[in-house]
Chain A
């Protein structure tokens, strides 16, 4: 089935450690996005990519990095510079910008 796969579902990070969240889509979508959700709040955009080898910062990019080497993959690295990384992370894709976005099931990141 076509869709967006995020892994792992749960992730634990030690202090000072970088961790990478995986996002893969087989929808042949050009655009991909990463969002962060804190408890009781809406989603906030971290990074987005409109095309392979290109990406742009969203509203809360500090402490995060991304790459877009393949159309189907958009991994997010939470670096040690992100001081409050505990959150629910959601990846999305769309055929193009301004088209409906479809979401993966998310990754919950916690600090040990």
Chain B
């Protein structure tokens, strides 16, 4: 199956800081999604981004499919951004998840 690697595994930010999360994948994909998992376990869709760049408020994402990576940018971080961020890629009808980046934003 497709291998998905996320980095860094952990990230500690001061409120207001900017950060970049990276997702590398091992094969061409039909779909790439970024999720935020909150402390209660809810998985929230952030982006559906098989290629190109999208922005949603303080978050933006870029996928370079030909080079097999995607980046998630968090700007002006807030404490509510804390949680685990997952990248998931789809090939052969299933999503393969990375191990996630745990983000802690301190006030």
Residues of A within 8 A of B (CB): 33, 37, 40-45, 48, 50, 56, 58-59, 88, 90, 97-103, 105-106, 108
A-B contact count (CB 8 A): 58
Q: How many residues of B contact A (CB 8 A)?
A: 23
Residues of B within 8 A of A (CB): 1, 4, 30-31, 33, 35, 40-43, 45, 48, 86, 88, 90, 93-100
Known A-B contacts A44-B97, A98-B93; the reply to A106 vs B30 at CB < 8 A is no
Taking a contact as CB atoms under 8 Å apart, the answer to whether A100 and B45 are in contact is yes
On chain B, the residues within 8 Å of A108 by CB distance are 41
User: Please, which residue of chain A has its CB at the minimum distance from the CB of B40?
Assistant: A105
User: CA–CA, A100 to B88, complex, Å?
Assistant: 10
